[in-house]
Amino acid sequence: MKLHGTMSVKNRNLYIGGVKCEKIVKKYSTPLYIFDETLIRQNCREYVNYFKVKENNNKVAYAGKAFLPMYMCKLIKEENLYLDVVSGGELYTAYKSQFSMKNILFHGNNKTINEIEMGIKLGVGIFVVDNFYELDLIEEVCKRYNTTQDIYFRITPGIEAHTHEYIKTGQIDSKFGFALTNGDLYEALEKVKVYKNIKLIGLHAHIGSQIFEVDPYMDAVDIMMNLVKKIKENYNIQIEEIDLGGGIGVYYTKHDKPKTIKEFCESIINRVEKSCKKLKINKPILIIEPGRSIVANAGSTLYTIGSIKDIKDIRTYVSVDGGMTDNIRPSLYQAGYECGVINKIGLDKINQVTVAGKCCESGDILITDTDIMEIQSGDILITTSTGAYGYSMSSNYNKIPKPAVVFVKDGKSKLICKRQSYKDLISLEL
């Protein structure tokens, strides 16, 4: 099990943020999400530094879908990041946390009328327009409120990135964005020239998630910069900002070889400079939208081991008090994880087990055939790198309450999301 951020081991006991994990479990129980606040802030600062936010007026927008309690909104505000939201709920969370609405980019392939009205009334900085339906709605709502809205067009650049089928987004066959091959983008450009309440200032492309190669991003940069030139020449519209999305891959298991934030950012910056020089155009303001690479390795999940079922010559199932309700990724797209027992770190791995969840589903498996030290019922298991899409995709399937979320830093722990109670579970039922 790889140690991330402020994780450390003393006398085989695991510490995060200077806090002993056994102590955290005694205070907050399991299952429990635990986040290394120092690592999150460090990742934010590396993005701001290496993406040349201060030097070039570029922007780093945190992708809220990865993990967005109110405390996270406050943290990224303190670290001078923008915020990318994809729903009215995420927007409302940001609003209630007093995040600046002007620093929000509102994404989504099917924003509802209510969400569009909410965004316009709250003063959202940028709507990332995904389709003609949304374009017409924004113009209509802006007319009603006598206001003008800045927008980006989301395009599908036709780039196939090597990642899981469910998290590809840049290929032509996608539910997202205006395609380049069928003329949709150019029809949208004609429309926006006529509309009085919309100002097109940027383009957005997102090629997928958990991508380890840099080459697809280089292709995206070239496509986008060529578009900037073409749109200026053919439509007399100056594209001031280019949003290249997120998607940088992170470490989950020993098979993953991610680029550093520095390598990723510098590759993009250098390619943009080269492309703009070749095309003889001014460099636009650049935006990237990291989510997973800010929070994934900073988050872990703690479980209590319950039943252990040894099927001779086949498999040993180790069941925990959580599962697909707090981490759907293994069941959804076969995501891999590493694990360990928090007070036995460093001991020889003498068992191969499959870590199973408690849901009434055969597919509720967190890790298949992993090597682990000696274990017994009552041990506390940790799965690492669960910070992205664990809590945000959690559910109440089987009417299982959602776990609490704790941040740790400098030897102290802070509860940022309460554990759901059974009373909470039925609070909306009549």
Strand partners, 288: 60
Q: Is residue 415 classed as helix, strand or coil in its secondary structure?
A: strand
Tokens of 365: 């498996």
For residues 388 and 327, give the distance between their C-alpha atoms in angstroms, rounded to a whole number.
Answer: 10
Residues in Cβ contact with 107 at an 8 Å cutoff, skipping those fewer than 6 apart: 84, 85, 86, 128, 130, 154, 204
Strand partners, 362: none
For residue 351, the surrounding DSSP H or E stretch is: strand 351-356
For residues 367 and 352, give the distance between their C-alpha atoms in angstroms, rounded to a whole number.
Answer: 11
For residues 144 and 381, give the distance between their C-alpha atoms in angstroms, rounded to a whole number.
Answer: 55
Q: Is residue 332 classed as helix, strand or coil in its secondary structure?
A: helix
Catalytic residues: 360
Answer yes or no: are the C-beta atoms of 44 and 76 closer than 8 Å: yes
Answer yes or no: are the C-beta atoms of 153 and 185 closer than 8 Å: yes
Biggest alpha carbon distance in the chain?
72
For residues 104 and 164, give the distance between their C-alpha atoms in angstroms, rounded to a whole number.
Answer: 28
For residues 76 and 57, give the distance between their C-alpha atoms in angstroms, rounded to a whole number.
Answer: 17
Would you give the DSSP letter of residue 397? G
Tokens of 314: 């086949």
Q: Is residue 416 classed as helix, strand or coil in its secondary structure?
A: strand
For residues 85 and 104, give the distance between their C-alpha atoms in angstroms, rounded to a whole number.
Answer: 7
